[in-house]
Amino acid sequence: MQTSFAPDLLEHPAFASSEKIIRKCVHCGFCTATCPTFLLLGEENDSPRGRIYLMKDMLENNRPADALTVKHIDRCLSCLSCLTTCPSGVNYMHLVDHARAHINKTYKRPLMDRLTRTVLGLILPYPGRFRLALQGARLAKPFAGMFPKRFHAMFGMAPAHLPARGTSDRPAVHAAQGARVKRVALLTGCAQRVLDPAINEATIRVLTRHGVEVVIVKGVGCCGALQHHMGQEEASNALAASIVRSVMREKRERGLDYFVTNTSGCGTTLKDYGFMLREDAALANDAATLSAMTRDVSEVLAELAIVPRPDQPKLRVAYHSACSLQHGQRVTQAPPIVLRKAGFEVVAVPEGHICCGSAGTYNLLQPEIANQLKARKVANITRMTPDVVAAGNIGCMVQIASGTRTPVVHTVQLVDWATGGPRPASVPTSPAAAIPA
């Protein structure tokens, strides 16, 4: 695609990067075949190709964003299916991230939209605040009709019962059982710590059981992904910088093989820290190193000798491949391989490349499209008649679970159970006890 960025504009790294990305696009339209919003809405501006035209016009003229551009960029899930599909190597992720940051700086959103995004940015990345917000939303649910419609999706997100606070989030060293084969730091996350702390606990158990020492590093909190995807660049980069400093200090002082995440939405962002912080002279090298040493927990488990218990029920597991894992990180084989090694029958979900509609804060900001995608995903899962659904991202788990009675758990929880850990509360003990979708 031909561009006409002014030379002085290309002196700015963000614009120079976006110009190179745009020039790689050859208008082929392959991306339209796998873009969830184009499949649903059928509008060119709701396809990656259409959005690239909109972003090109906005960025190469360095003009403030307009309502039309914002509308269609906001509808983008950042599922990154187009990254997998594109034959020309167009890095749509970096382009849309730049566009969102530009929108955040140059466009004045309507009051309720501004308020919603501000609230999400101030609450979701902070577990204490998020827990209080969910407790408040749960109490206010009966009066949800009195609030603006925009907040209804937030009330719907509030679970009937919040799990007790996890015990694995405090800075600590969890020793490996037997001979130590690896030493890793674990990102305990933010929203996941509140919604399902059992995931972190299962992760620590299964890793230590297989000879991996797990460190919870002091100073490691939210990765910044949620704010990053809303264009809140300064806030997200500050959180990223804090993690880089803390983890790299631990690596230098005591050694680390990997920085492990069990939330694939976080993993995609962590693996991009080298790009996000490339202009920070003090942190650029460390950020690139941290990105290179980041692994999804399924990647680590795939390197270990997983042996299931002899009495492990052979449940039928529908594996949902989170977009951030399969498209953002290109991790596709490790999770089903690990589940099979753990003794489960694994079936792929039809249209597995299509997003479930969670996409970070998308199901809160674009609930109508998100609900359509959820219904499509649940219907495809139901066709496979699974005993349980496994996924590697808390957002996907919450989204899918809200549309089905089939238990939805994290991949690592199943592997933990199969190798000596407790059975996840919602999982049937045998296929005969499975709950229908």
pTM for this model (two decimals): 0.93
pLDDT digits (tens, 9 = 90+) for 44-88: 999 999 999 999 999 999 999 999 999 999 999 999 999 999 999
Classify domain 9-106 at the CATH superfamily level. Alpha-helical ferredoxin (1.10.1060.10)
- The topology (CATH level 3) of 172-301 is Rossmann fold (3.40.50)
| Contact predicate 322/399, CB 8 Å | no
pLDDT digits (tens, 9 = 90+) for 215-249: 999 999 999 999 999 999 999 999 999 999 999 99
Rounded to whole angstroms, the Cα distance separating 401 from 395 reads 10
Specify the CATH class of 316-433 in words: alpha beta
Asked if the domains at 172-301 and 316-433 fall in one CATH topology, the answer is yes
Domains of the chain by residue range? 9-106, 111-157, 172-301, 316-433
pLDDT given for residue 425 in this prediction: 87
Give the strand pairing for 258-261 and 294-296.
parallel
pLDDT digits (tens, 9 = 90+) for 121-148: 999 999 999 999 888 877 777 776 667 6
Closest by CA to 407, choosing from 383, 393, 428, 380, is 428
Rounded to whole angstroms, the Cα distance separating 313 from 363 reads 34
- The mean pLDDT value for 340-364 works out to 95
| Contact predicate 233/106, CB 8 Å | no
